[in-house]
């Protein structure tokens, strides 16, 4: 396996199929846990990163509440890979204000901090204290500008990566990790794209499938995984 192969975080899924991938590709899978998830904490023993819950509140038209984030950090003892400092979708100035408001308190937990970059930001906007750059923002802006972040920073996470094509785009740009909640929602064809990516990239292979399709067609002899 390539030591630099990108880690994939399919949301907070803990189902059987997800468990098979965690077992088949050690070090390549992790959870992205939302502190307002009603299904409880991350599965014990699985690597995970901690989201801040802002995007979920924003997409539902709700006001974001900081309490679940801090309650989780106070009470869950398995250390996350990193925590996403509160941000605001597609709003540069509000994201910077939220970093100033929350980063000092989150630093006290001794967990690496991820700064979520938004539309209009430049590399100079990233605080020196940030351990990870989380590329958020609108879809078009994110993919147009991904390379500037991976070229400037060693640790880059890409949000909302839900197709085989986008997995390889993030991988080849040099991302450390990505997340996507759609892999276990689109049926076997979509999940196949994740399986094929993990197999190819773990073997240090180049993408073999048609990159203009959302998921690749069936493969032969893929170690019985699809």
For residue 110, the domain's CATH number is: 3.20.20.105
Q: Indicate whether 50 belongs to any domain.
A: yes
This prediction's pTM: 0.90
The parent domain of residue 41 ranges over: 7-202
Per-residue HEC secondary structure of 153-181 comes to CCCEEECCCCCHHHHHHHHHHCCCEEECC
At residue 92, the pLDDT reads 96
Q: Would 97 be classed as within a structural domain?
A: yes
b/e map of 132-162 (b: 16 or more CB within 10 Å)?
A: bbbbbbeeebbbebbeebbeebebbbbbbbb
Q: How far apart are CA 219 and CA 226, in angstroms?
A: 8
Per-residue pLDDT of the chain (226 residues; tens, 9 = 90+): 344 689 999 988 889 999 999 999 999 999 999 998 877 789 989 999 999 999 989 988 999 999 999 999 999 989 999 999 999 999 999 999 999 999 999 999 999 999 999 999 999 999 999 999 999 999 999 999 999 999 999 999 999 999 999 999 999 999 999 999 999 987 888 899 999 999 999 998 878 665 555 555 554 344 343 3
Residue 21 lies in a domain: yes
Q: What is the pLDDT of residue 4?
A: 67
pLDDT score for 2: 45
Q: Give first-to-last CA distance, the chain, whole Å.
A: 19
Tell me, yes or no, whether 66 lies in a domain: yes
| 138 in a structural domain | yes
Does residue 224 lie within any of the structural domains?
A: no
* Cα separation, 5 vs 83, whole angstroms: 21
| Domains of the chain: total | 1
Which pLDDT belongs to residue 222? 41
Beta bridge partners of 114: 84, 132
Question: In the sheet where 113-117 sits, what is the strand order?
Answer: 7-9, 177-179, 156-158, 132-135, 113-117, 83-84, 48-50, 31-33
Whether 226 is covered by a domain: the verdict is no
Question: Is 207 among the domain residues?
Answer: no
């Amino acid at each position: 396996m390539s030591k630099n192969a990108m880690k994939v975080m399919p949301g907070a899924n803990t189902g059987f199929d997800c468990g098979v991938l965690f077992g088949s590709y050690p070090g390549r899978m992790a959870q992205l846990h939302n502190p307002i998830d009603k299904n409880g904490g991350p599965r014990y023993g699985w690597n995970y990163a901690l989201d801040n819950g802002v995007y979920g509140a924003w997409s539902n038209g709700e006001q974001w509440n900081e309490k679940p984030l801090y309650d989780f950090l106070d009470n869950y003892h398995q250390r996350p890979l990193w925590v996403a400092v509160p941000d605001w979708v597609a709003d540069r100035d509000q994201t910077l204000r939220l970093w100033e408001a929350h980063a000092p308190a989150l630093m006290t937990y001794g967990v690496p901090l991820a700064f979520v970059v938004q539309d209009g930001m430049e590399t100079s906007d990233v605080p020196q204290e940030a351990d990870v750059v989380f590329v958020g923002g609108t879809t078009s802006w994110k993919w147009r500008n991904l390379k500037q972040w991976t070229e400037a920073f060693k640790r880059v996470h890409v949000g909302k990566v839900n197709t085989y094509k986008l997995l390889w785009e993030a991988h080849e740009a040099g991302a450390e990790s990505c997340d996507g909640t759609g892999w276990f929602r689109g049926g076997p064809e979509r999940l196949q794209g994740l399986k094929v990516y993990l197999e190819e990239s773990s073997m240090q292979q180049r993408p073999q499938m048609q990159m203009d399709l959302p998921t690749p067609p069936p493969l032969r002899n893929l170690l019985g995984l699809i």
